[in-house]
Amino acid sequence: MTTYSYSEARERLSTLLERALMEGQVKLRSRDGRVFIIRPEKLPKTSPFDVRSVKLPISKADILDAIHESRARFS
């Protein structure tokens, strides 16, 4: 794992971020000696549109009746 000083990180931030992406993480040492780890955020592998279905005791006929009823109100 690569360690960067504060001034190196300021000068080469894009390089530091690319290295974190390739290596998984990099260390950043502040002027007062504290050490921080920078790592890329893991992106979710699923689509935000993937939602679990809800099991309801509704038949196809019930759904079609509800559609016809709601359309009848607006015509």
Encode pLDDT of 11-24 as tens digits: 989 988 999 999 99
Residue 68 belongs to a domain: no
Sign of the Cα torsion 6, 30, 23, 18 reads negative
Q: pLDDT tens digit string along 14-65?
A: 988 999 999 999 999 988 999 999 999 887 788 888 888 888 999 999 999 9
Q: Looking at the domain assignment, is residue 16 inside a domain?
A: yes
Q: Which residue has the tokens 């000083």?
A: 5
Counting the structural domains of the chain, the total is 1
- Using CA atoms, how far apart are residues 75 and 70, in angstroms rounded to an integer? 9
Residue 6: which domain range? 1-41
pLDDT at 35: 93
Asked if the structure places residue 3 within a domain, the reply is yes
Q: Taking the model in full, what pTM does it have?
A: 0.51
